[in-house]
Structure 1
Amino acid sequence: MNKTAWVFPGQGSQAVGMGVDLQDLPQAQSKFEIAEKILNYWSVLDVCQGDEETLAQTLYTQPCLYVVESILADLLIERVGLPQLVAGHSLGEYVALYAARVFDFESGLQLVKKRAELMATAEGGKMAALMKFDRTQLNDAIAQNPDVVLANDNSAEQVVISGTPEAVESILAQVKAKRAVTLNVSGAFHSPLMEEASQQFKAVLDSISFADAQVPVLSNVEPIATTNAEELKQRLIAQMTGSVRWREIMLQLPENQITKVIEVGPGKVLTGLIKRTCRDIELHNVSSKADLDQLPQLEISGIS
């Protein structure tokens, strides 16, 4: 039996114009209207049609991605039904949980709004991406420095470190990498430096009811599939200070007999990573209405 997984990208995948082609669809219109009320009356569509600099601000990026990806997920469910597995990268995990019907659209957006606010105001940290690096050397260097962690383990050849500015610079000086890039973020996301923000976020998260997932979810901090509501909530609580273990999530796809993956959302970052990691998995992208309209062809080729 062919099994399909949906994956949802996170911050960094946003693009000006995303979601605009969905605005005339009745299902999308209602979601955009609900979102505007929850977001204190700023418009996701306006921001997505605005300038790149504004869209790239955490405060706007995360709610915009959540809303657009959730609409695409709903439309996809209408066309082909639920997949056999879902996962999301960082912010994308919230959409994965929504798609699996762990919480409703409004609850998810309230969580994302609070998360974005806390992350946008985080200070005193630094993050950097390393490409084609010596993993053993990196692991040893991190083990000897308590002020830096592996924040995003994206693939065998791409990671992000997070910590104090001094600690991050120290690691960059020690570890050989083909390329190292400092990220334009205000805080040390996915590290213990986010503990205070995590505690503030937990107060909001505790107020949201989680249901058992209708399909298994692979979580960032624990890439073992589960449908258990309490497990999924605890994993989400840990996500703000914990590592995004995307490399391990990808390796779990064939372990769960997944033969096809659809990346739901803007860009092709996640399918690019999966292509280089799981070469036998068939990959597709749904980022627009045009992609959705191609679903009959995808169904013929075995997506459904």
Structure 2
Amino acid sequence: GISGVAAALLLQVPWQVGLLLGAAVASTDAAATFLLIQQSGIGLRPRLKDTLLLESGLNDPMAIFLTVTLTSLVAKMQTDAPFDLASMGVLLVMQAGIGILGGIFGGRLLARLLDTLSLPVGTYPVMTLAGALVIFAGVSLLGGSGFLAAYLAGISLKAKLKRPIDRIVDFNEAFQWLCQLVLFLTLGLLVTPSALLQDIWPTIGIAAVLMLVARPLAVFASVGWMGFTLRENIFLSWVGLRGAVPILLAIYPVISPGPITVGFFNVVFVIVAISLTTQGWTIGPVARLLGLGPQPPKAKDEAEVSAP
């Protein structure tokens, strides 16, 4: 909402279009976040890392739902057709409810199936991938969020599977990176570099509001009371990297009937690029500045000597 208001004011577009842009850039990227954290050598405590992972997985379905809903709203705005808010509320409940139930029970059923079958070791990762696709498609056909279901199915599978899961995790991690490479390559083909500079200053302003105002307010409002220290909340506020999902979501309004042009896609692309470069390159220094990095050996040894 905050990013949407900033977009509407800076780009001088209707508030519906501004909120649509805010929804498109709302999702964070777990893969980019943890890759940069791992490369920076930051020793975050597990609860902080798990929070980032959980957030990045759960905010994708909501960002998709909001983008689809607001795209419909913008299209109806052009034709002066009434917007049924009640039906959108019912749709949201169905998407979340069926997605949660389908993901949890689907993951448990898949875990039991893998534990029961006796197959060559190399086939279990493929079976897991096939099961995830079935869960995604089945929940989507029932009116739920397939993305939420697939995410929760993975968590449920890891919790319930008795068979060693290392090979499955390694396979899916490699497959995930392959998919992201293909996705970014495809998205890159849609970009015209000269067109990215048309609204560059308003776009930089939206990115600044997103990183410095909207994200910190959202973090402190949602998890500020959950026992994290002030430094950890500040770190969570800064590590809200945008990735492939916002760029992918920006394509949907452009190709859908309505007034949204390719300029919308260009704005989202630049916001993601600013987030990845500005926040991504500073994850390590910010963590160390806040005292969240690994403790130096000398200081650790002195603490052990001075301990009673």
Q: Same fold by TM (over 0.5)?
A: no
Query: Is the helix fraction higher in 1 or 2?
Result: 2
Give the TM-score, by structure 1 length: 0.27
Query: Is the strand fraction higher in 1 or 2?
Result: 1
Bigger Rg over Cα: 2
The structure showing larger relative contact order (alpha-carbon pairs under 8 Å, at least 6 residues apart) is: 2
